[in-house]
Amino acid sequence: MIGLIFRKELIELIRTTRMNWLLLGTALLVGLALYNGYTYAVDHQQLLSESQRVTYQQFISQGDKNPHLGAHFGFYAYKPMAELALLENGIDDYTGNSFYLEPHQRGIVRFREVTDSTALRSFGFLNVGYFVQFILPLFIFLLSHNLFAKEWENGTIKMVLSARVTARQLFVGKLLACGLLVGALLALVILIPLALLLVQPQPVDWPTVLPVYGCYVAGLLLYALLLTVLGVAVSLLTRSSSLALVGLTGFWLLGVFLIPRLTAELSRRVYPSVTSADFDRQTFREKEYGVGDEGTKDARRAQLEARTLKQYGVSRLEDLPVFFIPITIEYFEESDGRVMDRAYAAVEANEFRQDRLVLASAVLSPFLAFRDLSMHLTATDMNTHYDFAAKAEQHRRRVGEQVDAFYQNNTVATNAFWKTVPQFAYQAPGVGWRLSNAVASLGILLGWTVLALVMMVLSYRRVRV
Amino acid sequence: MRMPLFRVMMAHELRLLYRNRVLISLFTLILLVLLASLWIGSSMFRKQQQTIGKIGMYQTEMADSLKSRIERIEAAQMRYNGFIWDDPTFAYNTARNEGPQFAVKQPFALQALMVGQSDVQPYYYKVYINKKQNLVFDGEIDNSLLQFIGTFDFGFVVIYLLPLLIIVFTYNVLASEKEQGTWVLLKTSNQSIARLMLYRIGIRYGLFTGFFWLIVTPVLAALISPAFLATGNWWWIVGFVSLYFGFWFALSFLINSFSLSSNLNAMVLIGLWLFLGLLVPNLLQIGLNRLYPIPSRISLTNEERNAINKYFEKDGQALTKDVFSSPRTLIRQASVVTPGMVYGYGVIVYKSQEIKDAAAHVAEQKLFGQIERQQAAIERLQFISPALMMQEVLAGLTGTHWHQFNQFSRDVDDFRVQTQRFFYPKMATEQTYRTFTVRDAEAIPRFVARTYADYGWLHIESSLSVYVALVAILLFAGYRRLVFASR
């Protein structure tokens, strides 16, 4: 009997003109999302890897220069595209991928794509992530909102239940039919990207990608299950197609747009960010006048000079066996570095508090929880951004130390020296690290699924003619 | 218009709406959301004003400090006891330390309505002679995740949320008559059903739009002062937003005229909202990115660096040798920074910057040229999505459009050139290397801040005409269908 109901429901869904339009439109959107995501990922990856090579090549072939001047020419550390960027580009366009490795200046990640985009960008960027977070819920809600409600509206529920069909058989049959269509769509979303990964020009590190991809698919299935169950539960509860549709669309609107944006504004107010002007002013003062009893920059320089002269047992800088300027540079690199580290740590700590507040609102919006999970798994999230920035900064200091050590004994650096400076390469941490950052969103998603299941079962138990 | 019938219907509609608890709850929610968006927008506007105020104070503080430091040195017969790189009598040092001036885009009061590009574009720059600030400065310190999520402003409420409320408000104007069995009664009455439905939609539109402006205008006046009422920008905004609501009411009227079920009406309208509000702009974005790909700033940097490397292969190499090895600059070894070294660095920076600027100029033209082409295409095609049209027009009228930020950044670049012209000759004076005086400090060029809220470039009349025509067509088509349906 379940099979019969399943078939009847499926035929009804497939033969309805509006459903045909919905399915066709959705399939086209999936295609476009995949195309857009794939071209974005491939183009950006090529640009970034090529630029990483070019910038380093420029650095190591800059010719004879004063070592410090040459170090100021510097080079860039680029965050490569995430392996699964074709699915989700997360916040990459908002953070930028370029980190300038230059003495004295603690790097910041620059060149955010979003700065050079038109107003169209505010409508979102159509890729699989966008499709799954914005369109898929609406597709599932449009599919499921009248699954049961129509039986009441058409008066067919009495006929069906007075025949030999039990409420359970009706329920399971309809649920399976709806689940099959959702599953078919998900199959497209899951399998085609795998095929695209196979054909993309960059080699894929499968041992890293496959576990991540597996987790992404598991999360996607959980999310789709939650949405389907929720749609069915509302359809059972309201017994009115229009009311179910308005309710589910309202929930979608609240969860996708309203709650995230309101919480983002709230977090800006609860944890206000420092302005760039204040940040510059504060760090400038700390560097010039010192923190606590450190003394002014001039006083610290005088102390350093006295210490260095004493260390080498000479009375004049000119008599030192090493050059004093690189020693000064390295000394202030460290002390200014501490100031900048503190300042950036404060900014990051504040951003972390803001992010936590936004994530907390996922308790009210499963869409937000999935987005967070998706960004973490694809390494297009804030944690990966911080990790990249920290590693690039370590590399910058390593280069600075190497150049200053060379400069203590040499006033000219040739290409032979520049070639000894190491190239930068970044690899996002593996699946364990990503999952550990996504525990909260995963927990919220599971909680929502359990809640939706309970709601569906309770609504099902209320089914009476 | 038949006034008695209109009055009866008005009373009927008000009673219906008043008794509809779902609508009352939705209205209350949206009202709160609208108030929240106005408050958020106005507090962002005030925060910008505060930041600019602080910048002004900081600038004055720096200028005073610079002058008093130079005066002290002059009083001490040009003796300076601090670190040579901080000595303000070297033009190069001042150009790096206290010399850089802030360039500010004065906030426009109506930007409280729409964030537009102001969350990703800087509204102030500190202008250095050795940086193309508009290319390397990313703007305010802000959490990228929050920027990614988007802002909650009046524009968002108007463009996305209110059309959905209008849909809920109108999707079953006709279908409910059928579903409640009153349709037959209406058909047998001596009134035209088409006119009745048009009145109902018209009354709802009037109530909705009137109520909206009755709330928005005084609240905004209280939050940012009523001066905005005297601007042309405001009245264009009133016209466009009212027309935008009119579009959704007219569309709903047309869909209602197909005599479908309430559920199907709602599905179609939600589908159209999704299509016109999210998908069309997204598809347009894909197309324009293919047609006019915007080069990354990464490529621009690569070109700059290539030019520098090329320069240092010959001329730059000679200059560096001259600066670091010539007896004139007195650098024998890297232990003592001499005045010649400060001067030499200044000259190298100045020469390199000229090379970098020339290389960047070409790449910059390419970058901004492509964005301009995309913008021009958006302007031509904005009629295909009312949401996009509203986004463009609202951003333009509130002074937060890309075009206005671009104008500001070009002005900043011109100002940087002006600053370079001021400092370069002073940096290149070799006699004593220390030529920067109090009079020079007073003469450092200042940026003239202004608001960027002109909208002449927006071709606002043609956008308005297109949408008036569109609304008229939708209403006419719906009316015609209903005239035939009632026969």
Query: Is B202's pLDDT higher than 50?
Result: yes
Q: A121 and B371 in contact by Cβ < 8 A?
A: no
A142: nearest Cα among A251, A312, A35, A22: A22
Backbone φ and ψ of A39, nearest 5°: -65, -40
Nearest to A129 by CA among A219, A66, A50: A219
Stretch 342-401 of chain A: residues touching chain B, C-beta under 8 Å? 347, 350-351, 354-355, 358, 382, 385
- Would you tell me which residues 402-421 of chain B have a C-beta closer than 8 angstroms to some C-beta of chain A? 402
Please return the burial class of A226, using the count of CB atoms within 10 Å of its CB with bins 0-12, 13-18 and 19+.
Answer: buried
What does DSSP assign to residue A105? B
Q: Alpha helices, DSSP H only, in B292-401?
A: 297-313, 315-325, 339-381, 386-397
Name the residue among A267, A325, A351 with its Cβ closest to that of B335. A325
pLDDT of A345 strictly over 70: yes
Q: What does the pLDDT look like over A244-272, one tens digit per residue?
A: 888 898 899 889 988 999 999 999 999 99
A95 in reach of chain B (CB within 8 A): yes
Return the residue of A nearest to B394 by Cα: A119
pLDDT at B330: 46
8 A C-beta contact, residue B108 and residue B453: yes
- Cβ distance of A265 and B151 shorter than 8 Å: yes
pLDDT of residue B325: 64
Q: What is the pLDDT of residues A363-396, one digit of tens each?
A: 999 999 999 999 999 999 999 999 999 999 999 9
Tell me the β-bridge partners of A256: none
Whether residues B146 and A111 touch (CB distance < 8 A) is answered with no
Burial of B443 (0-12, 13-18, 19+ CB in 10 A): exposed
In angstroms, the separation between the Cα of residue A252 and the nearest Cα of chain B is: 12
The answer to whether residue A24 neighbours chain B at the CB level (below 8 Å) is no
- pTM of the complete model: 0.86
- Using DSSP, state whether B125 is helix, strand or coil: strand
Question: Taking CB atoms and an 8 Å limit, are A242 and B286 in contact across chains?
Answer: no
Quote the pLDDT of residue B328.
53
Asked if B30 has any chain A CB less than 8 Å from its own CB, the reply is no
Closest CA relative to residue B227, chosen from B399, B401, B108, B118: B108
Q: Who's near B341: CB < 8 A, 6+ residues apart? A: B323, B324, B329, B330, B331
d(CA B181, CA A214): 54
Q: How far is B317 from chain A (nearest CA, A)?
A: 7
The number of angstroms, rounded, from the C-alpha of B358 to the middle of its chain's C-alpha atoms is: 29
- Cα(A371)–Cα(B460) distance, integer angstroms: 38
A318 → closest Cβ in B274, B313, B335: B335
Q: Are the beta carbons of A463 and A169 closer than 8 angstroms? A: no
A260: Cβ–Cβ under 8 A, 6 or more apart, which residues? A358, A361, A365, A367, A368, B149, B150
Which residue in the block uniquely carries the two structure tokens 């069309």?
B280
Pairing mode, strands B101-106 and B450-451: parallel
Q: Alpha-carbon distance A423 to A57, whole Å?
A: 9
% residues pLDDT > 90 (chain B): 43
Q: Are B313 and A298 an interchain contact pair (Cβ–Cβ within 8 Å)?
A: no
Mean pLDDT of chain A: 88
- What would the pLDDT profile of A224-240 be if each residue is shown by its tens digit? 999 999 999 999 888 78
Q: In this structure, are residues B484 and B194 in contact, taking their beta carbons and an 8 Å threshold? A: no
- Asked if B431 is an interface residue toward chain A (Cβ–Cβ < 8 A), one would say no
Percent of chain A at pLDDT > 70 equals 99
Strand order in the sheet with A98-101: A75-78, A98-101, A109-110
Using CB atoms, pick whichever of B54, B296, B334 lies closest to residue A325.
B334
pLDDT at A116 over 90: no
CA distance A432 to chain B (A): 22
Instruction: Find the range with the poorest average confidence among A216-230, A275-289, B158-172, B425-439.
Output: B425-439
The chain A residue lying nearest B268, using CA atoms, is A18
A274 vs B: CB within 8 A: yes
Close Cβ partners of A139 (under 8 Å, ≥ 6 residues apart): A22, A26, A182, A185
* Residue A117 zone, left/alpha/beta (φ > 0; ψ -120 to 50; rest): beta
Question: Model confidence over B388-404: pLDDT tens digits?
Answer: 999 999 999 999 999 99
pLDDT score, position A147: 84
Question: Are the beta carbons of A66 and B391 separated by less than 8 Å?
Answer: no
User: What integer pLDDT is reported at residue B332 of this predicted model?
Assistant: 45
For chain A positions 40-59, those within 8 Å of chain B (CB to CB) are 47-48, 51, 54-55, 58
| Disruptive mutation site among B143, B289, B382, B409 for chain A (greatest number of A CBs within 10 Å) | B143
pLDDT in tens, A159-191: 777 777 788 888 888 888 889 999 999 999 999
Nearest to A120 among B51, B274, B378 (CB): B378
Q: How far is A335 from chain B (nearest CA, A)?
A: 16
Q: What residues in B contact A246, CB-CB < 8 Å?
A: 22, 168, 266
Instruction: Report, as an integer, the average pLDDT of A102-119.
Output: 78
Q: Does A192 touch chain B (CB under 8 A)?
A: no
Chain B residues in contact with A51 (beta carbon < 8 A): 298-299, 302
Asked if the C-beta of B336 comes within 8 angstroms of chain A's C-beta atoms, the answer is: yes
Contact B285 A126 (CB under 8 A): yes
Cα B382 to Cα A150, B459, B462, B465: the distances in Å are 39, 12, 11, 13
Q: Does A315 touch chain B (CB under 8 A)?
A: no
d(CA B60, CA B54) in angstroms, rounded, equals 10
Which one, of A169, A73, A84, lies nearest residue A403 by Cα? Answer: A73
Task: Say yes or no: B376 contacts chain A, CB-CB below 8 A.
Answer: no
CB B154 within 8 A of CB B30: no
Nearest chain A residue to B346 by CA distance is: A69
Task: Decide if A431 contacts A211 (C-beta within 8 A).
Answer: yes
Taking only residues 111 to 130 of chain B, the set having a beta carbon closer than 8 angstroms to any beta carbon of chain A reads 116-117, 120-121, 124, 126
CA distances A351 to A97, A255, A274, A347, A355, Å, are: 18, 22, 11, 6, 6
The residue whose two tokens read 């003592």 is B336
Spatial distance between the Cα atoms of B137 and A451, rounded to a whole number of angstroms = 47
Handedness of CA B240, B245, B248, B253 (dihedral sign): negative
- pLDDT score, position A461: 84
Chain B interface mutation, best of A46, A47, A58, A116, highest count of B Cβ atoms under 10 Å? A116
Q: Give B101's DSSP letter.
A: E
Q: Which of B58, B148, B298 sits opposite A111 (nearest CB)?
A: B298
Q: What is the DSSP string of A46-104?
A: HHHHHHHHHHHHHHHTS-SB-HHHHHHH-EEEEPPPPTTTTT--TTHHHH-SEEEEBTT
Q: Which residue has the tokens 């290389």?
A: B359
Size of interface A-B (CB pairs under 8 A): 257
Alpha-carbon span A340 to A291, nearest angstrom: 12
Question: What pLDDT sits at residue A190?
Answer: 93
Mean pLDDT of A303-324: 88
* Complex ipTM value: 0.89
Q: How many CA within 13 A on the CB side of residue B434?
A: 15
Which parts of B257-279 fold into alpha helices (H)? Answer: 262-274
Distance CA B55, CA A278 (A): 9
Question: Would you tell me how many other CB atoms lie within 10 Å of the CB of residue A356?
Answer: 12
- Chain B contact present for A326, CB below 8 A: yes
Render the burial of A31-52: b for 16+ CB within 10 Å, e for the rest. ebbbebbbebbbebbebbeebb
List chain A residues with CB under 8 Å of B101.
Answer: none
Q: Mean pLDDT, to the nearest integer, of B216-225?
A: 94
**Which tens digits make up the pLDDT trace of A123-165?**
888 899 999 998 999 999 988 888 888 878 777 777 777 777 7
Q: How far is B295 from chain A (nearest CA, A)?
A: 9
Element (H, E) at B450: strand B450-451
Q: Which of B118-122, B134-138, B354-358 has the lowest mean pLDDT?
A: B134-138
Q: What is the mean pLDDT of residues B64-75?
A: 92
Which of the residues A62, A276, A282, A316 would you substitute to probe the B interface, choosing the one with the greatest number of B C-beta atoms within 10 Å? A276
Residue bearing the bigger pLDDT, A97 or B320: A97
Q: Once rounded to an integer, what is the mean pLDDT over residues A441-447? A: 96
Read off the pLDDT of residues B169-185 as tens digits, 9 standing for 90 and up: 888 888 777 777 777 77
CB contacts, 8 Å: B43 with chain A: 269
Pair B246, B271: CB distance under 8 Å: no
In contact, A273 and A279? CB cutoff 8 Å? no
Hey, are the CB atoms on B266 and A246 less than 8 Å from each other?
Answer: yes
Spatial CB neighbours of A171, under 8 Å, sequence gap ≥ 6 = A460, A463
Using a CB-CB cut-off of 8 Å, the residues of chain B touching A268 are: 143, 146
Closest CA to A239 of A150, A155, A157, A171: A150
Answer yes or no: are the C-beta atoms of B273 and B164 closer than 8 Å. yes
Residues in chain B: 487
| CB pair distance less than 8 Å for A126 and B371 | no
Please write the tens of the pLDDT for every residue from B301-338: 887 788 777 777 777 777 777 666 665 554 445 566 77
| pLDDT > 60? residue B1 | no
| Token pair 């500001």: residue | B408
Question: By the 8 A CB rule, do A124 and B278 touch?
Answer: yes
Q: Which of B63-72, B339-348, B354-363 has the highest mean pLDDT?
A: B63-72
Residue A293 has a pLDDT of 80
- Cβ within 8 Å, pair A32-B286: yes
Q: Encode pLDDT of A387-443 as tens digits.
A: 999 999 999 999 988 998 898 888 888 999 999 999 999 999 999 999 999 999 999
